[in-house]
């Protein structure tokens, strides 16, 4: 009888390969992986997303105003009072949240 010196059968045996990459290759690999992960998704500009988040944060802070006058001053600083339609829309939001 043949004695098996390995604890697993041939089907269970798995070999791991380690590949050494340079920094340039690693960056290329990360770029490809990022592209593959984002396939089918809309690309997001990080600067635009940061500006959007800052505007939302400032608007949330403006919503905490106690009076309509304070709120109007806060949205004026945000540049949301230039358009009368925008101003009316944000006032509706503030009025509904301040009840």
Q: Does residue 14 belong to any structural domain of this protein?
A: no
Q: What is the pLDDT of residues 44-74, one digit of tens each?
A: 788 888 888 988 888 888 888 888 899 888 8
Query: With a threshold of 0.85, does the pTM exceed it?
Result: no
Q: What is the pLDDT of residues 15-39, one digit of tens each?
A: 666 666 667 677 888 888 888 887 7
Q: Does residue 37 belong to any structural domain of this protein?
A: no
Q: Does residue 91 belong to any structural domain of this protein?
A: yes
Q: Does residue 39 belong to any structural domain of this protein?
A: no
Q: Does residue 31 belong to any structural domain of this protein?
A: no
Q: How many domains is the chain built from?
A: 1
Q: Does residue 59 belong to any structural domain of this protein?
A: yes
Which structural domain, as residue segments, surrounds residue 72? 48-97
Task: Return the pLDDT at 32.
Answer: 82
Q: Does residue 42 belong to any structural domain of this protein?
A: no
**Which residue has 């500009």 as its token pair?**
45
Cβ count near 80 (within 10 Å): 19
Neighbour-count burial of 75, counting CB atoms closer than 10 A to its CB (0-12 exposed, 13-18 middle, 19+ buried): buried
């Amino acid at each position: 009888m043949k004695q098996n010196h390995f604890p697993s059968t041939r089907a269970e045996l798995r070999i791991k390969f380690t590949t050494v990459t340079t920094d340039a290759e690693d960056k290329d690999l990360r770029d490809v992986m990022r592209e593959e992960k984002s396939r089918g998704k809309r690309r997001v500009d990080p600067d635009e997303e940061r500006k959007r988040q800052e505007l939302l944060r400032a608007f949330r802070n403006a919503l905490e105003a106690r009076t309509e006058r304070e709120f109007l001053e806060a949205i004026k600083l945000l540049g949301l009072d230039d358009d009368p339609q925008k101003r009316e829309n944000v006032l509706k939001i503030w009025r509904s949240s301040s009840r």
